[in-house]
């Protein structure tokens, strides 16, 4: 895939005006709106649930890219689907039946993703390749925004690229991405770049997005 896409994360946005932030991200040129869902158990932070996804859906003109950092996503999976999630990414490290959950998403017409924490081997994706639209490689430890990019994980992006072997599976990268770190990920095989702080703290959101895409 030659195009580089940007998924604008709302994790570090002002939660008092999420609808406005989502509209502005869309106007600035993001290809997805990235929604980080944290349950306070799988990761040591607590963010938003299906009701907020439903509330921001009408503000977005691009697909909602929902990342479930949950120990038991099965409890709320249907709710996130009904809320309007276009793509839902689960974690490979959960104790639930990942394959069954991915199949459930496929049956409901939702794009599927599988996320790997920094310590999780790339090979973990192999049993699920037939069900995936996306592999999300974390280049920071999930749970909090604003962490520095871990350069040693570029090799993992390359390994995931090798494992998907030309299948129509996108590689998404999340964690510490900016105009300096993004080109390394794209060169390694990334298709989608998740960025929150870098865009939201920029004085020109459109320019920041174009820089991530390598178009400036």
In the chain, what are the domain boundaries? 5-212
pLDDT at 2: 63
For domain 5-212, give the fold.
TIM Barrel (3.20.20)
| pLDDT for the residue 216 | 63
Cα distance between residue 215 and residue 202, in whole Å = 16
Contact of 115 with 139, CB cutoff 8 Å? no
Length of the chain: 216
Low-confidence ranges of the chain (pLDDT < 50): 1
pLDDT at 147: 87
Catalytic positions, written as ranges: 36, 174
pLDDT of residue 1: 40
Q: What is the largest CA-CA distance in the chain?
A: 44
């Amino acid at each position: 895939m030659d195009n580089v896409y940007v998924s604008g994360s709302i994790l570090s946005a002002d939660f008092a005006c999420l609808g406005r932030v989502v509209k502005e991200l869309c106007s600035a040129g993001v290809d997805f709106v990235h929604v980080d869902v944290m349950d306070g158990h799988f990761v040591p932070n607590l963010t938003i649930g299906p009701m907020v996804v439903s509330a921001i859906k009408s503000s977005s003109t691009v697909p909602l890219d929902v990342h479930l950092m949950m120990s038991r996503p099965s409890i709320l999976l249907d709710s996130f689907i009904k809320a309007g999630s276009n793509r839902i990414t689960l974690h490979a490290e959960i104790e639930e039946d990942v394959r069954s959950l991915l199949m459930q998403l496929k049956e409901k017409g939702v794009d599927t993703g599988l996320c790997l924490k920094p310590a999780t081997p790339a090979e973990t994706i192999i049993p699920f390749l037939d069900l995936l639209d996306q592999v999300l490689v974390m280049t920071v430890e999930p749970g909090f925004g604003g962490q520095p990019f871990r350069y040693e994980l570029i090799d993992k992006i390359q390994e995931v690229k090798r494992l998907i072997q030309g299948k129509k599976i996108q590689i998404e990268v999340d964690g510490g991405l900016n105009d300096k770190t993004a080109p390394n990920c794209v060169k390694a095989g990334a298709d989608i770049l998740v960025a929150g702080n870098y865009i939201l703290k920029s004085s020109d959101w459109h320019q920041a997005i174009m820089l991530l895409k390598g178009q400036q």
